[in-house]
Structure 1
């Protein structure tokens, strides 16, 4: 059995919890094809995956545990089809977690934007399967997460204080130039900014104060655009009624992960904006190769100017507070540092 004790010297992290870790089981790929959808997203290579590759990567990178997700989850189908696929995926993940105690947690998928079906699956995943949170995408067939039509779902997720990992997907608009490039290359950071703007001006966190949202890829472009997003009332005066009193502080309540921000330019913006108690480790494996995620993590550790306590929070403590499954490990780690 693999354990974090097998981590080699010089790995980027130490006893970290990876909250941005994809799994790509073959049954999911085949079912998407059967339903007429691409195996992931058009223009995104489907990586080869099996659980052993994830565990081996974790050992080499100093990652104690990963909270895995299946992205992009349930495609745009009817409520019954979506509920069936979500249940199939979630029971698979629960079994996977049970076979690897201490190493894995999992984000459930939900058949959104079908609110009633999503609420039923949320209850099952939390109360029966014991999954660790929910994996979401920025928009469901054009319905973004901060949309009032999803308020009943958001209210229940807030009441339960369920951690929700939000990954971008392609925007619903059509016809914009792509230059022969995959949508994920440019559109994914913009997608997270779109969602951030909606959350801000809909005052979603005020209406649902228990929400615990994790925005992937360092929050996309949120750190860079946060100040600009707060300027809405200077452009349209009526927006002053919709803007929270402290818009920057409002956005700093959101969590983000370290995936794809380990370079001098992106990281400078995230480091100046994000509070250390809201940053989580993310590898984006296997969509990002292991060599890339290792360099990404190493840059953050070596150039982040975090104190030892802050780095421990980023690697372990923040995630342990969100995911009780790993709380005991956090306490033992804290004791070893005193």
Structure 2
């Protein structure tokens, strides 16, 4: 690959598409109240204008909004479905106001799979949202759990893209180091859910599932080859082993929120290729100063050609999100 560090994607019709960009809708913030959303994390203020200011400053044409952990699982039963509906309708209204600046991944009221499938249909078919946002797990169950496969199968059949965001790990002593789980545990949660999808053979059964894993896939680029050795370590894993661990991981997509640096990008590029990498900022849970850092890391990484950089910054996302692509084209 050539050194193309001078290639910069300007704002305008060739600007970036940010697939890891969070929102805090008013109804969601009110429902959260005084709850601790993510232990040890300063919960930011947010408004659409805040996002637009950061987007304009960094050459980001469009941001695909999503809800971060804990999703809507902190409210019980029917209340979770009602909150998900409020959030998704807020997203739809915001997109109607700014169709060329915002997209959205619908939040689903998991772990209630029946309610989630109903909200999936409403959010995609009626509201026209661009995809769905899932957490790496709900309670102590990761996405490879059999309970979630009917939902994933329906999403796959629809051809709908899924952005997967890590959660706070269940049943662990998070005070061991006195550090917030988002600093390091989030990367392991992404790895855990990917391993559950691999070794429960969900990715084999659903080869067309369009998953976007956060933060360069957590530790997956580093562990990819190690994960092929399950049956070597334990013969009992032979019947559970995926047909092709590396091939399955290479089919997934990965955003580079908090990861556009000289340590993560070479390994991720080797695993996934530039056709499966997407730009992400993690704003506002990471501040505007980090958006600057991540954008510069993306723009100056020497391992991509200009064409590859343009794919990572924009065209890969638009291929996965055709409704957003159509809005940008008609703007």
TM-score computed with the length of structure 1 as normaliser:
0.90
After the TM superposition, list the runs of 4 or more consecutive aligned residues in structure 1 that deviate by more than 4 angstroms.
9-14, 328-332
1:77 offset after TM fit, Å?
A: 3.7
**1:4 corresponds to:** none
Q: Which of 165, 168, 181 is the matching residue for 2:166?
A: 168
Aligned-partner Cα distance in 2 for 1:138–1:98: 29
Aligned-partner Cα distance in 1 for 2:76–2:46: 28
Unaligned 5+ segments in structure 2 are: 1-6
Aligned-partner Cα distance in 2 for 1:151–1:328: 30
* 1:91-170 map, 5 Å: 91-170=89-168
Aligned-partner Cα distance in 1 for 2:120–2:328: 26
Task: Check whether the contact 1:258–1:297 (CA below 8 A) recurs between aligned residues.
Answer: no
Unaligned 5+ segments in structure 1 are: 1-8, 333-338
Aligned-partner Cα distance in 1 for 2:253–2:87: 25
Whose RCO is larger (CA < 8 A, sep 6+)?
A: 2
Residue 19 of structure 2 is aligned to residue 19 of structure 1: yes
Residue 304 of structure 2 is aligned to residue 302 of structure 1: no
Three-state SS of the structure 2 residue aligned to 1:20 is strand
Three-state SS of the structure 2 residue aligned to 1:287 is coil
Aligned-partner Cα distance in 1 for 2:265–2:8: 21
Three-state SS of the structure 2 residue aligned to 1:21 is strand
Aligned-partner Cα distance in 1 for 2:208–2:265: 28
Aligned-partner Cα distance in 1 for 2:15–2:123: 27
Task: Check whether the contact 2:9–2:15 (CA below 8 A) recurs between aligned residues.
Answer: no
TM-score computed with the length of structure 2 as normaliser:
0.91
Residues paired across the two proteins, number: 321
Aligned-partner Cα distance in 1 for 2:189–2:93: 32
**2:260 corresponds to:** 262
Q: Which of 69, 83, 86 is the matching residue for 2:84?
A: 86
Residue 40 of structure 2 is aligned to residue 47 of structure 1: no
Three-state SS of the structure 2 residue aligned to 1:264 is coil
* Aligned-residue CA RMSD (Å): 2.0
Task: Check whether the contact 1:271–1:304 (CA below 8 A) recurs between aligned residues.
Answer: no
1:199 offset after TM fit, Å?
A: 1.1
